[in-house]
């Protein structure tokens, strides 16, 4: 097919979303390389992200551009390429999150450099959605989120808490400081363990380099904040079995996870290749199936709209600190990370993705659970 035909085809598709090539609106795109047209028609979202990182196109408002594409469901009008279909097929046949693959995935993303995350995230190094109700900045939104979790669990002094996928220990540090509990956190990232232990020094907090499948012990409450997205659908049931095994009979399990509006077997191909290998977003149906006969669902809270604000705060933090980072990271990496943060913000803004906090009990809370917002 000729270049002019491809250009016309892409122009027509983008027009459905109210986007003009080389237009004047902030969410319009400026195309610098005509190979862009063939690439996105052939490779869909993978080609769109790759061509941005390669510098083939720009937009003053990438998040607004992605929001328009997803709001108009334009992504559903471009057929997936063979690589995407093959990726879904592999996910059906093989477990993408074995213990070895989980460690590899963590190393690719979370072990890139603590300097990057310290510049991008809040002061507590929290890599999950903030709770922006009555919050004027990112630090307050993240502390609001942690306090919300503690209140949902009704934490009491002296209790012992397990955090599955604890990151740099931000939640367990907060819980130990503010609610006088002891905590154990597990992660498969070496860099998170090293810095987390340093940040939690002097507190009744343990952080272990451990796959969740190897967990043992008994805990008053269990939390998992932003780790379930890395579990993969083949392991959802096993994850719930581990949480059930580690939770005392009267305890609560709070699961905080990004979620999708329908069931899938693999994630967006660009995210999978360049940001979070072997990740995927669970659906309500998949989570429901995984908890059946294990837990009673006490509360299901969706505050996915807050992830837009959180991602935009991370984007502004990253770029305001880029001068101090650019000696350690390439400009290509800078474009890649900007695209990751802005495209995800656009996706949450379009309500394509959700953020769920789910409170689960083993046997049902006597008298009923009081939902906290």
Residue numbers annotated as active site? 344
Instruction: Please state the φ and ψ torsions of residue 163, each to the nearest 5 degrees.
Output: -115, 110
Buried b (16+ CB within 10 A) or exposed e, 333-357: bbbbbbbbbbbbbbbbbbebbbbbb
Residues linked to residue 222 through DSSP beta bridges, in sequence order? 162, 253
- Measured at the alpha carbon of residue 266, what is the angle toward residues 306 and 362, in degrees to the nearest 5? 65
CA distance 371 to 367: 13
CA distance 274 to 269: 9
Among 276, 325, 328, which residue's Cα sits nearest to residue 97? 276
Among 257, 255, 119, 113, which residue's Cα sits nearest to residue 192? 113
Q: Which residues contact 8 (CB under 8 A, 6 or more apart)?
A: none
Among 303, 343, 340, 346, which residue's Cα sits nearest to residue 318? 340
Among 164, 205, 218, 188, which residue's Cα sits nearest to residue 108? 188
């Amino acid at each position: 097919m000729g270049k002019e035909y491809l250009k016309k085809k892409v122009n027509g598709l983008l027009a459905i979303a109210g986007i003009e090539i080389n237009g004047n609106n902030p969410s319009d795109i400026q195309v610098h390389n005509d190979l862009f047209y063939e690439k996105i028609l052939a490779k869909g979202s993978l080609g769109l992200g790759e061509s941005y990182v390669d510098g083939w196109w720009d937009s003053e408002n990438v998040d607004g551009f992605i929001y328009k594409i997803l709001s108009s469901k334009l992504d559903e009008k471009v057929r997936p390429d063979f690589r995407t279909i093959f990726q879904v097929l592999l996910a059906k046949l093989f477990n993408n999150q074995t213990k070895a693959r989980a460690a590899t995935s963590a190393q690719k993303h979370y072990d890139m450099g603590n300097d990057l995350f310290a510049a991008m995230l809040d002061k507590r190094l929290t890599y999950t959605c903030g709770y922006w109700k009555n919050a004027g900045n990112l630090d307050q939104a993240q502390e609001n989120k942690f306090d919300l979790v503690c209140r949902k669990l009704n934490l009491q002094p002296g209790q012992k808490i397990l955090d599955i996928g604890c990151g740099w220990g931000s939640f367990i540090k907060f819980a130990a400081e503010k609610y006088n509990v002891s905590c154990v956190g597990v992660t498969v990232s070496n860099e998170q363990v090293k810095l987390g232990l340093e940040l939690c020094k002097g507190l009744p907090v343990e952080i272990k380099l451990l796959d969740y499948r190897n967990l043992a012990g008994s805990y008053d409450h269990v939390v998992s904040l932003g780790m379930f997205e890395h579990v993969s659908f083949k392991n959802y049931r096993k994850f719930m079995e581990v949480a059930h095994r580690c939770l005392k009979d009267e305890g609560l399990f709070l699961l905080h996870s990004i979620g999708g509006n329908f069931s899938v077997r693999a994630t967006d191909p660009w995210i999978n290749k360049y940001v979070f290998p072997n990740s995927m977003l669970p659906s309500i149906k998949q989570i429901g199936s995984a908890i059946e006969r294990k837990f009673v669902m006490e509360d299901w809270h969706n505050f996915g709209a807050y992830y837009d604000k959180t991602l935009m705060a991370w984007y502004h933090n990253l770029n305001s600190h880029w001068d101090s980072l650019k000696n350690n990271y390439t400009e290509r990496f800078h474009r890649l990370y900007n695209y990751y943060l802005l495209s995800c913000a656009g996706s949450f803004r379009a309500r394509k993705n959700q953020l769920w906090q789910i409170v689960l009990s083993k046997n049902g809370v006597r008298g009923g659970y009081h939902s906290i917002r």
